[in-house]
Structure formats: C-alpha cells, structure tokens
Structure 1
C-alpha cells in the first residue's frame, strides 16, 4: 500500500516536469524560428564576389542582415520566451523581457568580478617575448573566459531562458493586480516592467554567484570536445573516431527524445552553447559559440563545426523517406498502398527537402516502439559513419536538401583551408552524403520491411493502421455556420470541444494543447482530421503531430474560438 501511495505523487511530479519541459521546448521555437533565414543570408553573403564596390556593399548588407540575429541571440531568446510563456501572448511581456535581459547583461559580469575577482582556479604557463620569457598566471574566471568574459556571463542564451521565464511568471501572476489609487498608474500591465527591474536585479545577484560555475563546466566540456574533435592538420585517427562516436551517440539520443518533445532542450545546449571558435571576419579575440554558429560564422581553418549536424542528413534526406516506401510496399491492399502514398508521400518529400521528420516518425512510433527504437539506432549508426568519413555540414533549419546545398561551400572551405590531404581530403567531401544516404535508404527499407512483415506491425496501411475514409466533415460543413475549416472543427472536437481546451499553442510541426479533462481527448478523431499522431505529455497536456501547417492551423482555430462546430 505504501508503495502505491508513494508512487502516485512521484508519477504526478514526473508528469508536471514533462509538461513543463514540453512547454519550454514549444516556446523555444519562437526565437529559433528566425534562425534559418539568418543562416541563409550569412551563407549567401559569404559566396558573393567582392570584385566591385557595389558587390562589396551587397555582401556587407547580406552578411550583416544575418549576423545581427546571431550576434544578439540573448536578446531574441529573452524577448521570445517572455512573450511565449505568457498565457495571453501580450507585447507587454516581451517589452519587460527586453528590460530584464538588459539588466542581467550588464549586472551579472560586473557582480562576478566583485564576488570572484581573486578566485584561483589553477595556474597557466604563458610564453612571452618570442619564447624568451616564461611566466605563470593565476586562472580566475576573467582569465579563463578572456575577451569573451562579458559575453559568456552576461549574453548567453541560458541566462536569457531563465530571464524570459521569470518575466513571464511575473506577468502571469500580476498583470491584473490593482494598486491603491495613489499608485494607480502602475496598476495592471504597467506594473510588469517595474517588477521586472526589481526581480532582474535580485536575480542577477543570485545568478552571479551560481552561473560562473555553470559556465566553467560548459567551458570544460567545450574544451574537451574541441580537443577530442580536432580537424585538418591537427586531426588523428583517434580524434576522428571520437568525433564520429559523439555524432553517433548524439543522433541516437536526439531521436529518443523526439516522442516527448524534449529534443529542443539538448539541441539548445549543443547547437548554441558548447564550443568556441574565432569568428570569420571578426575582430581579434571575437568568437562564436555553438555548433551551428561555429560552422556558419567561424574561421574555416581547422573549424570543428558540424559535429552535431552532419550526421542527421542521411536519415532525414534518405532514411525516413525510404521507410515511407516500406509502409506503402507492406500495405495490405492496393487501395491502402494508394492511401499511404497520398498521405505520407508529401511527408517524405518534406523530410527530404527540409528535414522535418515528425509526421513520419509519429506514424509508426505508437504502432511499434521497437521499430522506432531501431530507427534511433540506425540514426546513430549512420551519423557515426558520416563522422568517420570526416564530413562536416551544417544547417540553419534542419538536415534537408536545401541546407545540404547551402552548406557545401563552407564545408569545402574547411577542407581546403584545414590541411586535409590524401584519403582524409577525399572522404571529407560532402558529396559522400549521397552514397551514404543511398545506403541509409536501402537499410531503412529492408530493415523496415522485415520488421513490419515478420512482427505483423500495424504501420500505416496495415492492421489497426489502415487509413480510413474521413467521415463527418462534409456534414459539418453543411450544418454549421462556422467559418472554421472541417479539419479545424474535427481537431477541436477531438480535443473535447471548446470548453475542454485551456491553452492553444504550437511549434513548427505540432499543436500543443492543454485541456481540462484528458479523458475527453479522442485520438482517433484527431487522426481522422489528418494528424499523424498524438503524444500525451501529462493527464492534461497533449501534442498533435500535424506537420508544417501546424502554426496556420492553430491560428485558424484560435481565431474561431467559441464558434459552432
């Protein structure tokens, strides 16, 4: 009895944590959504010839247009998260988020100097005067972070996430507070900026005590990764194997987190935080952080960027589209084969072109967790193979054809400027993604076909996974005066109706809804509306996997709240 009684609160706590992390992942999509365009501008700008004055102006405008986004990510994340975490998505929260992050940007580095100015984290041998003088210096936080001291401690994305969440919490708790008449001007939403100033100042004091140690751990991990993943003239067989292993393990873990919607959390660390590299065209000592930015904006020579990106291209461009072919091949009838192709053919094309994979993954995740686990293993294996070849590729959005093409010039620049010779130079060529991808496609198709047929899995077109004719939509169109589309109506009905839905949110591929009563959510109804799957994050939090139209569908639903269904 005690075990059962004790486990229920633990389970409830776990579900609340999952729901919170899910909301964090969803809200992170606000600032992340602008990165693809900025990345494309950077890549296009880097390839513009500068033979004429006009061309140089065009190049500068293009590069600066993209660079300004990456240079101010701490502001963008704080504003985006403060806005995204609020219940009513009001601009006052975004404004307060900007105030909060400006305060922490300047206060935290100053306070760290005051608190830890004389701390000793070890000593470093420094060679001066053309190797004629050798001295040792004490390593404190300023010495370790060097010219990036202010950026590391005051302009990092992790701090911005906490500031954005803090501001949103203040907003949600106090935006309707009424003060006495003498202070009436500050009532309601005008109170938020004032409280933010106080809260951000107090937060900065506590954060200045805690965060330097967090930054030091990240620095140590980054240094270890940098040393372990050297490229070009400093690379060895051992470092290449280590590099490939890291890519493989990360690819495997990344796929395992997809069902829970938690993949954005480690992605944020690996893509935007870990690692440091000299900025291409930057001032002396100016660096960029995170795998995406190191690849896009870092100096090409010995650039280690792409370690957490290149391994996804074989799976996203070739593997999952081939699995869709296996679904169609193993469908139980000609009619079902046609329906599988009609429903998932576009999802396969989107995966190939843009790297959006969730519509395919959720089509078989719940039908066969084993098949999904095999998919995660295969992702890791082919990510390892990509790393073993020494291929370096990056993306601004995801590992699809568009990002593959736009990242080839930088990949070749790294090869040409990093001292690659012989076999290393040959195998590091990004063109090898094509034959690796073909091998990936063949493996996914045959492994998928064997597992589906031998284990009689209910994948799309088979058993419980047969695709039914959508019913009831035409009737709803003729009997209702609502302007909401039939698909939107069926989604709302599937979530239990207007009265049952508490929060309407979305990311790039999912509707993320919170409901009053989870028992009223009808997964089959939602799937009939065209959803590829439904993920239950807690008793009241659900995610419907829609695909690239998730945002437009959510906007449509929100604009018709309360209308007759």
Structure 2
C-alpha cells in the first residue's frame, strides 16, 4: 500500500515537473534562435538581420527566452502544488500559495541576513551564495529552493484546507486560509535557511577547491558533480568556485 502511494506521489511529482520543463524547452529554443540570429557574424552573412527593427525583435526574443531560466525556481514552486493537488479549486489556491510560500521563504531569509548584517554587495553575491530573487536578496537556493517550497506548500495545503476555525472568521476558512498560514510558516522556514544553507554552500566550495587542485581525477569528479547537480539547479555551486574566485585563475585587464 505504501509502495503504491509512493509510486503515485512520484508520478504526480514527475507530471508537475513537466509544467516548467515544457516552458523551459520552448524558452531554450527562443534563446538559441534569437541569440544566433542576433549575432554580428550572422548579420554579416545575412545583412537583413542588421536592420535595427529586426535586431530589436531578435533581442526581444532573447529576453523572452531568458524568462524561464531566470525564474525557474519560482516556476517549480508554483508548478508542484499545481501538479500534486487534485481538484481544480485546490490547484488554483495551491499554485497561488506556492508563489506566496516561495516569496515568504526568501523574505524570511532576507530578514535574517539583514538583521545580522550578512547582506553583501552585488559583485560579492556569487562568492557568498547570494542572489536577487523576485526583488529579494537571499541565498541562491536555485531550483532546489523552489522544489522544497512547492513540496512544503502542497503538503500543508492538504492539512490546512480542512481546518475548522470559529464561525466569526468563516470568510478565511477553507482554501482562503492556506495562503495566510503559508505566509507565516514559510517565512519562519526562511529564518532557518541561514543555518542550513551556508554549510551546504561551503561544502560545495571545498569540493570545488579539491577538484581544482587534484589534477585529472579532480576534472573527472568536476564533470560528474556538475552533471549530477544540474537537475536541481545547484551546478552553480560547483562552477562558481572556478568562475568567481582566484581558484579558476586571474587576469589583469588594462594594467
């Protein structure tokens, strides 16, 4: 019985993943097409592409293509409740609550970082594992953060939607109660992330340092680590060591 439930859950979760992945594939094609045709080399081969209005249209296509890649974590946070919940009304409120939960989680993290003076300036964000997410500076938990937020919201939804509250507060009962409690719970969860994420991030930094200093064996593990973490959007933790720190080499430009 438990095996059937687990199998059903993972089937539903797999279907939920297809929502952002389908959009991602189309955005990837738009990004590739727009970037390819907008390049200077293509403009030399096909002068028509150098016309300003055509160039503007191609740049717009590139911007559309970037949409899914930039917002992939929040897309997963919305898609998972949408895919796991059954009724149409539940799906709608669940997706809405997924967005609320994802933003509240990072708002909680931002509050903690701000209170403890841990927010860094823009050019230091990558090396400190931080980024701007929907206008909120927080830890870059990437797609993994969106998946965790979506799973937590979907799990809470099933428990909250049937809660009985006083009749005087009846307006807030049922599905309307879910985003309210989600806001509170997920912001609290966001306060915990600063205790969990830095050790996780530092572990990846240590692995990256070891890879960079261990020769061919390290290169092999680098390739494996990058491929394994791509589905979770955590490959940036591996590559950031080489791209944004002296480990990857330094260059002096313009003296």
TM-score, normalising length: structure 2: 0.70
Verify the 8 A CA contact 1:48 1:59 in the aligned structure 2. Answer: yes
Helix, strand or coil for the counterpart of 1:48?
helix
Verify the 8 A CA contact 1:177 1:187 in the aligned structure 2. Answer: yes
Deviation track 1:324-368 (CA, whole Å, cap 9, x = no partner) reads xxxxxxxxxxxxxxxxxxxxxxxxxxxxxxxxxxxxxxxxxxxxx
Alignment match, 1:45: 34
Q: Which of the pair has the greater relative contact order for Cα pairs under 8 Å at 6+ separation?
A: 2
Q: 1:99 to 1:16 in 2, by over 3 A?
A: same
Verify the 8 A CA contact 1:86 1:169 in the aligned structure 2. Answer: no
Helix, strand or coil for the counterpart of 1:150?
strand
Cα deviation, residue 161, structure 1: 1.2
Q: 1:276 to 1:31 in 2, by over 3 A?
A: same
Aligned length: 224
Match of 2:154 among 151, 168, 185: 168
Cα deviation, residue 216, structure 1: 2.5
Alignment match, 2:19: 30
Q: 1:219 to 1:113 in 2, by over 3 A?
A: farther
Q: 1:246 to 1:219 in 2, by over 3 A?
A: closer
Compare CA radii of gyration and give the structure with the larger one.
1
Deviation track 1:428-454 (CA, whole Å, cap 9, x = no partner) reads xxxxxxxxxxxxxxxxxxxxxxxxxxx
Alignment match, 1:84: 83
Alignment match, 2:173: 187
- Structure 2, unaligned stretches of length 5 or more? 39-48, 133-137, 249-255
Verify the 8 A CA contact 1:87 1:172 in the aligned structure 2. Answer: no
Alignment match, 1:149: 130
Helix, strand or coil for the counterpart of 1:63?
helix
Question: Normalized per residue, which structure has more helix?
Answer: 2
Verify the 8 A CA contact 2:35 2:59 in the aligned structure 1. Answer: no
Helix, strand or coil for the counterpart of 1:103?
helix
What does 1:67-82 align with in structure 2 at a 5 Å threshold? 67-82=66-81
What does 1:415-494 align with in structure 2 at a 5 Å threshold? none
Q: 1:66 to 1:144 in 2, by over 3 A?
A: closer
Alignment match, 1:108: 109
Verify the 8 A CA contact 2:125 2:131 in the aligned structure 1. Answer: no
Verify the 8 A CA contact 1:79 1:94 in the aligned structure 2. Answer: yes
Cα deviation, residue 24, structure 1: 4.2
Cα deviation, residue 165, structure 1: 0.9
Mapped to 1, the partners of 2:17 and 2:220 lie a distance apart of 28
**What is the RMSD computed on CA atoms of the aligned residues?**
4.0
Q: 1:145 to 1:242 in 2, by over 3 A?
A: closer
Mapped to 2, the partners of 1:14 and 1:113 lie a distance apart of 44
Cα deviation, residue 23, structure 1: 5.2
Cα deviation, residue 108, structure 1: 1.1
Verify the 8 A CA contact 1:228 1:243 in the aligned structure 2. Answer: no
Q: 1:211 to 1:181 in 2, by over 3 A?
A: same
Mapped to 1, the partners of 2:84 and 2:209 lie a distance apart of 33
